[in-house]
Chains A and B, each alone.
Chain A
Amino acid sequence: MSELKPIFNALCRSKVGAILLLLQIAITTAIVSNSAFIISEKIAYLEQDTGYPEQDIFTFEVMSFGENIDYMRQAELDETAIRQMPGVIDAVTVNSVPLSGGGSSSSFRLVPAGQKGKGVQASIFEADSHFINTFGIKILEGRNFTEAEVSVVEEYSQYPSVGLITKAMADELFPDGDALGKTLYHGDLPMQIIGITDVMKGPWLQSERRDRSAILPFVFAQKLTLFSVRTEPEQRAQVMQQIEQYMLNLENKRVIEGLKGLDDVKADYVAPDRLTMRMLLVMIVVLTLITALGIFGLTLFNISKRTKQIGTRRALGARKSDIIRYFVIENAMISMLGLIVGSGAAVMMAQQLMKHYSLSQMPLFYVLFTAVGVLLISLLAVVGPAKRAANISPSIATRTI
C-alpha cells in the first residue's frame, strides 16, 4: 500500500493523460450502466410471459365482399370447418388478437355509470366459448361460457351480461379474492363474473392494462373477421400453408390477409423496442471495445513518454514485476476515480432519463456491476502495455539521446 502515495503524487503532476483516461472511463460507466438498465428493462418486456402457447397459434383476417353473405352463418360455418382440419386443435373468431397492438378496451367499474365507485381500464375480448381452448388459457376459478350464453349478432344489441376476467383484474377490483359471481359494469352494462383466468396478456403490452382483460361471449359478425387457430405442436406451418385455399374453397368472395403466427404478431408489435435494445447492445459492445482501446493507447503513450524513467527505475533495482505493478496500480487509481465520477454521472443521467423519458428508477447495482466490469476491462487493457514497459532494457538509462 505504501506504493500508492508516490504514484498518486506523480499522477497529479502529469494530468492530461490521466484526465483523458478518467473522462473516458467515467463516460463509459455512465453510458454502459444506463444502457444495460434499459436493455434489461426491454428484455424483461420482450420476454414477458404472455400466457399463450405462441408457437402453436396463428391468426388471420377474412375480408368478405360478396353482396349476399350471411355473416352470422358464415362465421359459424368457417369456425366449424377450420376445427375439422387435420392438425387443428381449436379455432375461434375474436374481435382482437392478443399481443397485436389493436383491440378494444373499456372501463370496468363496481357500480353503473354515473355513480362513484372503483374502476379499472381493461381490454375486451369478444368471442365464443372456444376462445379459452384456442388460446390455451387456464381457468383458475369458475367456468367457461356455455354455447347458450354466446350471442352471435350483426348489430350491437343483446350485449352479453356474463364474462370471464383475468386474475390480475379480479385481484385489483376485489382484493379479498371474492370476485367470482360479482357484477361489474362497463358503462351501464352489467357483467357477472363467471370465471377467473390465469395470466393472459391483452392486445397492448406497455400499460398496466396488459394484465387486465375481460372475455365476453359475443360474436359480432361483419365483413372483416379475425380468426385465431391453435394447432398440434409442429403442425402449425402445414396448416398455415393450407388455410388460404381452404377458406376460399368454403367461400371465394373474400380475401385472406395477415396470416401470421402469434409469435410473429408479438414480434411485430415489439419491433421498436427490440430495435432499441439491439442498438443499445451494439453501442455497449463497441463502446467497451473503444474504451479498452483507449486505455491501451493511453498506457502506451504514457510508457513511451516515460521510457527513460522506466529504464532508470530498472537500473535502480526495480524488478519487472515492480514496473508492471506500477502501471497497473496507476491505472487502477485513475479507473477508480473515473468510476466514482462515472457512477455519479450514471445516477444523474438515470434521473434525467427518468424525468424526461418515463423510464423507471435504475437500481444501483447496475452502476456497481458496470463499474466492476469497466475496472476489469481497464486492468486487462493495461496488462499488455505494462508488460511491454517491463521489458524496456535498463540500459536505456545510460543512453543520452
Chain B
Amino acid sequence: MFLHYIDLSWRSFKRTPLVSLLMVLAIAIGIGVTMTSLSIHHMMSKDPIPQKSAVLHHLQLQTMDEGQSYFSKDDLPFQVTYQDAMNIQNANLPYLRSAMYKSGFSVHLNSPEQKPFVEEVRLSSRDIFAMFDLKFIYGGTWTQQQQDDIAPVAVISKSINDKLFKGENSIGKSFYLDDIRVQVVGVIEDWITPVKYYDTNNGSFDDPEKIFIPLSLGITNEVHTWGNTNGWKNEQDDTFKDLLVSENLWLQFWVQLNNEQEKQEFGQYIMSYMKQQQSLGRFNREELDYNLFNVTEFMDYRGVVKHDNKIMVTLSFMFLAVCIANILSLLLAKFLRRAPEIGVRRALGASKRQVFYQHLVEVSLLGLFGGVLGIVFAQIGLWGVRVSHGAYDALANMDVTMLMAAPVIAITACIVAGLYPAWVVCRTTPAIYLKSQ
C-alpha cells in the first residue's frame, strides 16, 4: 500500500508540475536558509572533543583582592598567573595537566632555501598531547627530563613538517624559532577543531597552533605571550622577571580529571593551595573561589556561540514557518481541487484513514524533495558565508548530522503543513462530489 501511495503521489506531482515545483521550492528555500544558520550554530556549539569533553577541565582561580572586579559574569578571571600555573603544574598530583600560553616566532632553517615565516606557537607541558588526543605520526612528546632541563625541543604538526622537511620523518632534525635552535621530537596530525575551545581569549574560531614547545623553554627565553595579559594590581611589571612574580593573568590551565572523585580531590587540593597562598599574603579575600569547568561547560561559560548567530537561527526558523504557511495554502488548494476524485475513492471503499495516509505520504515525498534541494541551497548559502568571512571556513560546513537533519526537518515541516489539508480532504463526504459529476 505504501508503494502504491508513493506511486499516486508521483502521479499527483506530474499532474500539477508547477504547483508541485513551487511547493518544493518553498520548502527548499526554507530549509536552505534554516540549515545555513543552523549548520553554523551547530558547528559552533557542538562538542569539539566528544570523547574527552567531560574529563578535560579548565581552571580559573579567584586571585583578585576583595572588591576587584573582572569582566566575566562571575567576576573570576579567565586566565591564571604564572606563579599559580607553575605551583599547580609542579605539585605532586597524579593528573595530566598543562599550563599553557600562545606566542609566535619567525620560523626558519637558517638557510636561504626556506623563506622565513611567522608562526604561532603554543607553550605547554608534555601532557597536552595526551590530554587533547593529538595523534603522533612520528616520534612522541618530549620527556619530563627534557622539560625539566629546558631542552630546546619541539613537536610540530604535519603541515609544518611538510613545509620545512617535505613531509619526511624529521625526528632529530633542527629548525629555528627566531634565534632559538630547536630539535623535532615529534610530528602530529594537524590539530583540527571548529572551535579553539582550549584558548578562547583571542577568537574562539582561530586556527590551533602548529608548533609546540615546552613552557619552560619559553620562560627561560623570556618569550612574551601573544594572547591577553590582564592586570588588576598596581605593581612593578616592566621586565619579564617582574611579570613572572606579578599578579598578571596570562596563562590558561587545563587538567584531566577522569571521574567525579578525581574532580573532588583536585578541588580540595585547589582550596588548600589557595589557603596556603593566603598565608603568603595573596588571595586577600573572604571567600575563596575557583571554577573547574569541563569543555562544554566552559564553551557555554565563555559564550562561544555568538549572539548574532542565535538571532539568525531564531529568525530562520520563523522564516521556515512562513514557508510552511505557504505550503499549507498551496496544499489546501491542490487537495481540495482533487476532492471529487477523493469522493470516488471514498465511494469505492477507501477509509478516511487511508485517504489521510495517502495524502501524508504525498506531502512527505514533497518534503523529501524539498529537503534534498534545500541541502543544495544550504551549500550555496554556506559557500556565501565562507566567502564573506574567512574565519568561518571551518564553521560554515554541514557535517553528517546536519545532512541527515535537513530532510528530517523538511519532511516534518511538510507533514505539519499537510496535516490540515489532508484532514480536510479525508473528511469530505463522498456524496457531495459524486452528485455534481
Residues of chain A whose beta carbon lies under 8 Å from any beta carbon of chain B: 16-17, 20-21, 23-24, 27-28, 30-31, 34-35, 38, 61, 63-67, 113-114, 155-157, 187-188, 223-224, 254-255, 257, 268, 271-276, 278-280, 282-283, 286-287, 290-291, 293-294, 297-298, 300-301, 304-305, 353, 356-358, 400-401
Contact = CB atoms under 8 A, between A and B. Distances in A.
Nearest to B236: A156
A268 B388 CA distance: 10
A294 B329 contact: yes
Contacts of A279: 36-37, 312, 381, 385
Interface string B383-418: 011001111100000000000000000000000000
A24 B234 contact: no
A283 B311 CA distance: 12
B171 interface: no
B307 interface: yes
B31 to A, nearest CB: 12
Interface stretch (B127-135, B188-196, B319-327): B319-327
A65 B180 CA distance: 9
Given A155-B238, A257-B118, A401-B437, A301 B332 contact: yes
Contact of B392 (A275, A300, A400): A275
Given A271-B390, A297-B326, A113 B106 contact: no
B97 interface: no
B105 interface: yes
Given A24-B322, A31-B318, A291-B322, A271 B329 contact: no
Contacts of A20: 325, 328-329, 332
A357 B307 contact: yes
Given A283-B316, A294-B325, A297-B326, 6 more contacts: A65-B105, A257-B117, A275-B389, A279-B385, A301-B333, A305-B333
A187 B234 contact: yes
B239 interface: yes
B364 to A, nearest CB: 21
Contacts of B176: 65
B325 A24 contact: yes
Contacts of A287: 319, 322
B322 A27 contact: yes
A280 to B, nearest CB: 7
B428 to A, nearest CB: 14
B33 A283 contact: yes
Contacts of B329: 17, 20-21, 294, 297-298, 301
Interface in B1-60: 22, 26, 29-30, 33, 36-37
A61 to B, nearest CB: 8
A52 B130 CA distance: 49
Interface size class of B (residues with CB under 8 A): 35 or more
A65 B106 contact: yes
Contacts of B285: none
A278 B388 contact: yes
Contact of A157 (B29, B238, B318): B238
Contacts of B117: 255, 257
B315 interface: yes
A294 B322 contact: yes
A30 B318 contact: yes
Interface string B329-348: 11011001100000000000
29 contacts: A16-B420, A24-B322, A24-B325, A27-B325, A28-B322, A31-B318, A34-B315, A64-B178, A65-B178, A65-B179, A155-B239, A254-B106, A273-B308, A275-B392, A278-B384, A279-B36, A286-B29, A286-B33, A286-B319, A290-B26, A290-B29, A297-B329, A298-B333, A300-B333, A305-B336, A353-B311, A357-B307, A357-B308, A357-B311
B306 interface: yes
Contact of A17 (B179, B308, B332, B388): B332
Given A35-B315, A294-B322, A357-B311, A63 B22 contact: no
A273 B309 CA distance: 10
Contacts of A24: 322, 325-326
A282 B36 CA distance: 12
B316 A275 contact: no
Contacts of A353: 311
Contact of B26 (A276, A280, A293): A293
A293 B310 CA distance: 28
Contact of A255 (B118, B325, B326): B118
A279 B378 CA distance: 12
B311 A38 contact: yes
A287 B323 CA distance: 8
A63 B117 CA distance: 9
A42 to B, nearest CB: 9
B332 to A, nearest CB: 7
B436 interface: yes
Given A24-B325, A188-B234, A283 B116 contact: no
Interface in B231-252: 234, 237-239
B108 interface: yes
Contact of A304 (B22, B322, B333, B388): B333
Contacts of B310: 356-357
B29 A255 contact: no
B298 to A, nearest CB: 21
A113 B232 CA distance: 12
Interface string B204-225: 0000000000000000000000
Given A274-B389, A275-B389, A255 B116 contact: yes
A301 B421 CA distance: 13
Contacts of B337: 304
Contact of B330 (A16, A65, A297): A297
Nearest to A286: B29
- Give the residue among B106, B238, B310, B325 with the most A Cβ atoms within 10 A: B325
Most A-side CB within 10 Å, residue of B36, B37, B384, B389: B389
A255 B106 contact: yes
Contacts of A304: 333, 337
A66 B179 contact: yes
